[in-house]
A and B are shown apart, each in its own frame.
Chain A
Amino acid sequence: MFLKKSDVYLLIYWALIGLLVIVACLFFQYQQLKKDFINHGDSLYRHVTQLVGQHDAHLTALSAAALAANDKNHDLFSEIANSVKTYYPRIKNIWLVSLNNQEQLSNVSPDQAIAYEINKLASQVTNSPVLSSFGASSDFILIKRSPNNKNAKYALAITFDTNELLDNQDDFFIKNNIERRLVYPSKPIANKGLFEFVYSRVLPIESQRFTLNMIYEPKISELFNIPVLLLSLLLFSMIYWLSVFYWKTRKKTQIALEQVRISALESKLAHASRVNSMGEMASGLAHELTQPLTSVLALSQASKRLLDQGKTDQLPYITGQIIEQVKRGSGILEHFRNWSKPKSNSTAETDLRFVVKQAISLINKDIKPVQLLVDMPEHELLVNIDSVEIEQVVFNLLKNATEALHDINQAKIKISVYKDNSKAVIKISDNGLGIAKDIESTVFAPFVTNKPDGTGLGLTLCQRLVERAGGDIKVSQKADLGGATFIINLPIINK
């Protein structure tokens, strides 16, 4: 399985980061909208500026026309005015007002009230024409004196609808419901929140210092640019899960490599165990073989003498004994050969008593002058083990015990084999000095030894071999004979 139950956290991280990705997209989209808005705003600004600039030009032309007229008839003026109004439909009215009421300018004048207002405003004209709102909020009037000095005869006025000015066919503003306004006098606005974009800029026209104000309130749904969102999520997910996959694969490889390394070490350890016990066994073997060899030599030399003496009746018996002793020796060698095989032998159903007896026979010659007490059950005790390995373990423990009893008087070792519920137990106790409390917990650790030339591997290997057989080995708290006591538990075969 690529994913396990414990990988829930991976999903959680994915969800959380995915959420972050979404938020990033939203933020990005937000910035995009703002930029868009500003771009369009700038575009409109330039457009409006251009149009508004035209008003000055118109006024200049009209002013010239007004001054050029021969008194009563301002035909030129009307002509120009009409033309302007035709081609610039936003300009609603173009009026000429006499400033000192000297003339009656019927066809180009507004009604009296308006004329009066225009008169009033005209007095405010300085270098620049005067701009003022006129009627509806979007209508404005621009007034110029003609000529522009205190001897001005006329006031020129054009009125225009700023709404029409702002209409630039740009879909953007209509689509997004953007409020735009040309405001005079200046009234800059500030945005009131995250979801209110504001554009507020003063036109660079001296005569008409409008402030272009726009408010854009984008809908939250506009932040969700679905294609970008989906693409980002997809990309992120791909990267994320590919990384997870890569990382998991690497981890698996590492674990596998580690396993291989451990297996190799275990093999080395098992081999070391065999080599170690072979060394231990070699001295036992040397002992074992001396006895049959001694007998064979003595019997053979006796036979030769008897033959020389012509006394042949004992010979058959003696020869028989020689044969027996040689077989005894070869049995011992066979045993040793089993121990030194590099690969592990097969695990099989074995009577534990037999294994223990074998180990005892190996050590018997070595453990004098120690008294060995053996306690075995009457019935067989079947376990599933590699008999050579467990024999090594028992041999090792017995050897340790004899070494520990080196200076003890009346040295005793007791080895008991018995059944305890579903376990077969081997208990080895001695009446030595026991195991010191402070090293008790480390006794099975590798390279821990109290022998000057010890490798410290003996008990470690014993533990490994016992565990391989599915059992365990420990130091018992109760010291049966007053010294150390080791207990080996092995699972019994259920029949």
Chain B
Amino acid sequence: MKYPVYLLDDDESVRLSLSILLATVNIETKLFADPKQLLSSLHGLGPGCLILDIRMPFISGLKLQKQLVEQGIEWPIIIMSGHGDIEACRRAFTQGAIDYLVKPIDEQDLIDAIQKAQVKLDQIQQSLAEKKEIANLLDSLTKRELEILKLIAGGFTSKDMANALEISIRTVESHRASLGNKLGTNSQAELTKIWLSFH
């Protein structure tokens, strides 16, 4: 498994036993005893799967989940609970959890959930990489080319663009070709997509 698991539970034996179990399937775990510890370490951590116990001092697992989401952390979150509380479960999923596991947790359920998390993390990484690439590409565009790209995304014809920018159609066509080259596509749909993914 590529990405580590960040496990937050205030019971020492639970932390220990789960980490031992995950180790037998080569899943690396990083253990946290309370939310404050986790939140303060976040910056130094690479992308990983978060497993949070629902009941903890100072802040419930669900509230923590909300905070992480608000902070823009897109890492997959699995919620653990000693209850089978439907309401808590609903809330967990509405806030974007990828799974809700009821203790005592069976190894297969845990591994499957982490597997899902790994896939999601891959997707996230990939889209991040893609975004970065696009960012680079867009960086290579001139100011004028950016303007044109914006108008293409707005559905303007070359003629309209020429009028709007008070330049000749030919100039517009020329910029279009140039940016098409840089971005690797001439399709309006694709160009619109590229523009939208950044704005």
Contacts and interface: CB of A to CB of B under 8 A. Distances in A.
Interface string B22-43: 0111000000000000000000
A371 B58 contact: yes
A369 B60 contact: yes
A403 B18 CA distance: 31
Interface string A402-421: 00000000000000000000
Nearest to A287: B82
Nearest to A302: B21
B14 interface: yes
Given A305-B25, A306-B24, A365-B55, A298 B107 contact: yes
Contacts of B63: 369
Contact of A286 (B20, B82, B107): B82
Interface stretch (A74-82, A289-297, A344-352, A434-442): A289-297
A291 B20 contact: no
A415 B107 CA distance: 40
Interface string A274-316: 0000000000001100111111111101100110010100100
B154 interface: no
Given A295-B14, A301-B107, A302-B20, A369 B59 contact: yes
A298 B18 contact: yes
Interface in B89-116: 103-107
A305 B24 contact: yes
B147 interface: no
A321 interface: yes
Contact of B17 (A286, A295, A309, A328): A295
A396 interface: no
Contacts of A302: 17, 20-21, 23-24, 107
A298 B17 contact: yes
A33 interface: no
Contacts of B21: 298-299, 301-302, 305
A150 interface: no
Contact of A295 (B16, B25, B59, B106): B16
Residues of B in contact with A, size category: 20 to 34
B83 to A, nearest CB: 8
Interface in A308-334: 309, 311, 314, 318, 321, 324-325, 328
Chain B binding site: helix, strand, loop or mixed by DSSP? loop
A175 interface: no
Nearest to B23: A302
A330 B89 CA distance: 29
A451 interface: no
A309 B104 CA distance: 24
Contact of A325 (B13, B23, B56, B103): B13
The CB with the most chain A CB atoms within 10 A, among B16, B25, B63, is that of B16
Given A287-B82, A291-B82, A293-B103, A368 B57 contact: yes
Given A302-B21, A305-B25, A314-B20, A290 B56 contact: no
A243 B50 CA distance: 86
Given A297-B105, A298-B105, A321 B60 contact: no
The CB with the most chain B CB atoms within 10 A, among A287, A294, A299, is that of A294
Interface string A354-367: 00000000000100
The CB with the most chain B CB atoms within 10 A, among A292, A302, A325, is that of A302
Nearest to A410: B58
Interface in B39-81: 55-60, 63
Contacts of A292: 13
Contacts of A309: 24
Contact of B20 (A290, A294, A318, A370): A318
Contacts of A305: 21, 24-25, 107
Interface of A: 286-287, 290-299, 301-302, 305-306, 309, 311, 314, 318, 321, 324-325, 328, 365, 368-371
Given A299-B20, A305-B25, A371-B58, 18 more contacts: A286-B82, A290-B103, A291-B11, A291-B14, A291-B82, A292-B13, A294-B18, A296-B104, A298-B17, A298-B107, A299-B17, A302-B23, A302-B107, A321-B13, A325-B17, A328-B13, A368-B56, A369-B63
| 10 nearest A-B residue pairs (beta carbon) | A298-B17, A290-B82, A295-B17, A301-B107, A305-B24, A302-B21, A294-B104, A297-B104, A295-B13, A294-B103
26 contacts: A287-B82, A290-B103, A290-B104, A291-B11, A293-B103, A294-B18, A295-B14, A295-B16, A297-B17, A297-B104, A297-B107, A298-B17, A298-B18, A298-B21, A298-B105, A298-B107, A302-B20, A314-B20, A318-B20, A325-B13, A365-B55, A368-B55, A368-B56, A369-B58, A369-B59, A369-B60
